[in-house]
Amino acid sequence: MKISLFSKVILDHPLEDAMRLAAEVGYEGIELIGRSPHLAADIDLDRLREVKELATQLKLPIVNIPSYIGQYGQVGKEEAQGRFEEFQRFVQIADLLGCRYVRHIPASVSPDQATDQDWELEMEWVRRVADYAARYGVYMVLEMHGRSLIETAESTRKYLGMAGADNLVVTYDVGNLYLARADYGPEALEKIARYVHIVHVRDHASWGDDGRAPGTLMGDGVIDYTPILEYLRDTGFDGYLSVECELFATSVASELSYEVPTTSLSSAEIIAHEYKAIRALLGRTMTR
C-alpha cells in the first residue's frame, strides 16, 4: 500500500508548489483536485506538459483527478451535455498526464429515496460517460458519499452491477461512510472490495449533540482504521491510501464553498502530520 495526498488539503498552494510539498513530505502519489487553482478543465496544454514533467521529476504519480462532474439526470439536457463535455476534457487531461483515474459524481439522492427513474437516468448517463473514458483507458472513480446513490456498500454494489462498466471503480471513503452513519468496517469493504482501487483516509470526532462529527487530525478522532488496514493487507490491496483530512488551515477553508472546521496549523503542517500518522499506523498493521 502506498500513501497519496488529495490536493484539496493544500488548496492554498499553487499547483506546482503543492506537488513539490507533497513530494518533500514523502507522499508517493497525489490526487489533483479538478478545479482551480490546481487542475481546472480549461488548463493550458503547455502547462499540462510542465505538470507532467514535474511529476516525473518528483517521482510523484498523479493518482486521480477528483472532478466535480456528474449528476446529469438532475439537470436539464443542455446542462447535462455541457457537463459531459467537461468530463471529456478531464479524461483527455488524465490521458495526457498518464493518470488512469477521474472521479465521477453520482446523483445526489440517497438510495432509500431514489426512484426507479432516478436510477434509470443515472445509468443512461454513466454508461455513456464510462464508454468515452474507456476509449482512453481511463477508469471512472465513484467516491462513496452520503446523500448519494452510493451512500453505502450495498447501494454501491447495486450501482456497479446496474452500470455493467468494466472501467467503473470505487474510492472507498471511510470518513464519508462514517458521516453517513453507514458501516465502514471490513464487512462493508468486503462487499465491494474487488472494485476498490483507492481508499480515502481521514479522522472524525464522535457525534455531538448538534448532529455534527467534525474532521480531526488522524488519531485525534474515533474512526478505527486498524481492522480496515488489516483486511486490505490480508487481501493483497496494493493501491493508494489517500489523505483527505477534513480539518483545514484557515487559508484553505476560505477557498472552499462549504463550512469546514479549521485549525491554526498550516496546510503544510497538516499534511506532514497526516503522513506521519498514517505511515505509523500502516507500519504497525503490516508487522502484526
Domain 2-286, second-level architecture: Alpha-Beta Barrel (3.20)
21-65 residue pLDDT tens: 999 999 999 999 999 999 999 999 999 999 999 999 999 999 999
Q: Which helix (H) or strand (E) holds 71?
A: none
Cα-Cα-Cα-Cα dihedral sign, residues 32, 9, 30, 172: negative
199-245 residue pLDDT tens: 999 999 999 999 999 999 999 999 999 999 999 999 999 999 999 99
User: Contact, 31 vs 6, CB < 8 A?
Assistant: yes
DSSP state of 267: H
**Distance of alpha carbon 22 from alpha carbon 19, whole angstroms:** 5
Average pLDDT over residues 74-80: 93
Q: Output the nine-digit C-alpha cell for 22.
A: 507533497
pLDDT the model gives residue 249: 98
pLDDT the model gives residue 243: 98
139-197 residue pLDDT tens: 999 999 999 999 999 999 999 999 999 999 999 999 999 999 999 999 999 999 999 99
pLDDT the model gives residue 43: 96
pLDDT the model gives residue 287: 84
- pLDDT cut 90: percent of the chain above it: 98
Q: Has residue 97 got a pLDDT over 80?
A: yes
Residue 106 preceded by cis peptide, ω within 30: no
Q: Output the nine-digit C-alpha cell for 157.
A: 454494489
> What are the residue ranges spanned by the domains of the chain?
2-286
- Count CA atoms closer than 13 A to 94's CA, side-chain side: 31
Q: Output the nine-digit C-alpha cell for 18.
A: 503543492
115-133 residue pLDDT tens: 999 999 999 999 999 999 9
Q: Has residue 286 got a pLDDT over 90?
A: no
Q: Has residue 288 got a pLDDT over 80?
A: no
pLDDT the model gives residue 30: 98
